[in-house]
Amino acid sequence: MTEINSLKGFYDRYPEDYVSFRKLVDTVEETAKEFGFREINTPNVEKTDLYRVKSGDELLDQTYSFKDKGDREITLIPEQTPTRARLVQQRKDLKTPIKWYDTSKRWRYEDVQKGRDREFFQGDFDIFGVESVEADAEVIAAAATIYKKLGVEKRVNFLVNDRKLLESVLNSQGVEKTETAMKIIDDKEKMTGEEFLEELESEGLDTREAEKVDEVTSISGPIKETVEELKEKTPEAAEESVKRMEDLANALEAYGVEDLCRLDLSIVRGLAYYTGLVFEAFDTEGELRALFGGGRYDNLVGLFGDREVPAVGFAFGYSPTIELLKKEDKWPLKDVETDVYVLTVSEDVRDTGLEYAKKLRDHGLSVETDLTGRGFGGQLGYADSINAERVLIIGKRDLENNEVTMKHMESGEEEKLDKNEVINHLESENFV
Ligand code: HAM
């Protein structure tokens, strides 16, 4: 006998787990639909070159990459953004704005920890073809709406920044090596203050520059107030990006989510393709890794052909969000459900039971019947284990009296019904 377990960081989801997972997917997708995003479905395997274009070394180091039997270099998708850029480039006839969502699996060879798996789900939302802050605000509003629906928006810090803004503020403070600094800023939260300064200096910044980077990236607060603070601090060079952040704050206010968001100059994000806005969310206690992340990537589509299309979007992280819901005692979101279990008291009424089951299913209910030939007690126990709301008991003697019995599982109450009136009765109770 060989015992084989799943790979580290890959999860088996049994029905009692998956029912909550599905509910979370539904919440995310409902939100996408409410905002007018359309669903797409794309390959889970791509040519490795797709990620060499612009995803950055960190992501490439983490990919599951192989050679297929035709000796092609292929990769299990670690994210969907480059695939989407390829799709947009491929179809020049698509009318903008293009708004897409999907929920599917991704693979990254990461150190496994809470909320960080090797096989995981992301929910991607992107808007292509809109350069203005309205699209930026809309994707952030969609993300915030998900957490509002889950009832945990107050436990989430929505952190917003703009790489261009950060760059010009750093420049205005005399920091030249902004590209080098950005890479280190991305890891700032994982380091102590001292380590951060040391790292900057070891990459060629002088002590004064390193301190400036530390000072600037410590700026964090409500967007409007922080924008005002920046206006005083920075000269003309940063004017345009400061103005854009101000416009974003106003647009977020119109979407009713401005009060959830903060401007935080330490947010830069690891992926190399972002060109301006970047945003990321963390739990307010700072224990979990990012719940979702995204930004604006106006040049990525253009790298795959002659069509330049601005884009902004984010990926919702299922695992870290589930960890947050667990911390907040909001998980599981749902239990396995069954509307009616049709219990047949003896073998000779099984066919009648199946007829009732069919009728109930025709009315849209989820119905189970006995498939195993279990006795009364066994069937009732099973009905309880699948959380059946009602049990319709079909017995020979009842039928001879033109009756069946309906048991309400929660209260334990039973009522006799006319055998021809079951559906009518359920209709009168708004059960069907
Ligand atoms: P990302 O920051 O790499 O961005 O991932 C987005 C989110 O996916 C993370 O914040 C996290 O919640 C979740 N996630 C990432 N890695 C893992 C993992 N190993 N296990 C569980 N969850 C994980 C992107 O992927 C961009 N493509 C997002 C984007 C879409 N930007 C624009 N459009």
Instruction: Kindly report the protein residue whose alpha carbon is nearest to atom 29 of ligand 1.
Output: 314
Q: Give me the residue spans of the domains in the chain.
A: 15-327, 338-428
Tell how far the Cα of 318 is from the centroid of ligand 1, in angstroms: 9
**Residue 108 φ/ψ, nearest 5 degrees:** -140, 135
And the tokens for 73? Answer: 């270099």
Residues with CB under 6 A from ligand 1: 79, 81, 108, 110, 115-117, 120, 122, 124, 126, 271, 290-295, 313-315, 317, 319-320
Q: What distance in angstroms lies between residue 89's CA and the mean position of ligand 1's atoms?
A: 22
Instruction: Supply the Cα-derived Rg of the chain in whole angstroms.
Output: 28
Q: Which residues of the chain have pLDDT under 50?
A: none
Cα end-to-end distance, the chain, whole Å: 49
pLDDT digits (tens, 9 = 90+) for 246-285: 999 999 999 999 999 999 999 999 888 999 999 999 999 9
| Distance between Cα 79 and ligand 1 center (Å) | 7
The dihedrals phi and psi of 157, each to the nearest 5 degrees, come to -95, 115
Ligand 1 mean position, distance from CA 122 (Å): 7
User: Has this prediction a pTM greater than 0.85?
Assistant: yes
The domain 15-327 is classified under which CATH number: 1.10.1840.10, 1.10.1200.10, 1.10.940.10, 3.30.930.10?
3.30.930.10
Nearest ligand 1 atom to alpha carbon 108:
19
> From atom 4 of ligand 1, which residue's Cα is the shortest distance away?
293
Q: Which ligand 1 atom is the nearest neighbour of the CA of 59?
A: 3
Strand 403-408 to strand 388-394: parallel, antiparallel, or no bridges (unpaired)?
Answer: antiparallel
Enter the DSSP assignment of 231: H
CA–centroid distance, residue 148 to ligand 1 (Å) = 20
Residue nearest to atom 14 of ligand 1 (CA): 317
H-run or E-run covering 416: strand 414-418
Pocket residue to mutate for ligand 1, from 53, 86, 111, 122, most atoms within 8 A of Cβ: 122
Q: How far apart are CA 143 and CA 260, in angstroms?
A: 11
pLDDT at 78: 96
| Ligand 1 centroid to residue 237 C-alpha, Å | 32
| d(CA 266, ligand 1 centre) in Å | 18
Segment 42-46 long-range contacts (CB within 8 Å, at least 24 positions apart)? 42/80, 42/83, 42/84, 42/87, 42/102, 42/104, 43/77, 43/83, 44/76, 44/77, 44/104, 44/105, 45/74, 45/75, 45/76, 45/77, 46/74, 46/75, 46/77, 46/82, 46/83
> Measured between alpha carbons, how far is 401 from 101 in angstroms, rounded to an integer?
56
Centre of ligand 1 from the C-alpha of residue 144, in Å? 16
Q: Tell me which of 79, 114, 130 to substitute to probe ligand 1's pocket, judged by most ligand atoms within 8 Å of the beta carbon.
A: 79
Residues 6+ apart with CB under 8 A from 240: 164
From atom 13 of ligand 1, which residue's Cα is the shortest distance away? 317
C-alpha–C-alpha distance, residues 279 and 291, integer Å: 11
Between 1.10.10.10, 3.40.250.10, 3.30.70.920, 3.40.50.800, what CATH number should domain 338-428 receive?
3.40.50.800
Spacing, Cα 295 to ligand 1 middle (Å):
11
Q: Which protein residue's CA is at the shortest distance from atom 16 of ligand 1?
A: 116
- Tell me the CA–centroid distance for residue 428 and ligand 1, in Å: 48
From start to end of 63-212, where are the E strands? 64-67, 73-76, 98-107, 119-128, 156-162
What pLDDT was estimated at residue 396? 97
- Find the 245 Cα to ligand 1 centroid distance in Å: 23
- Please determine whether the domains at 15-327 and 338-428 fall in the same fold group of CATH: no
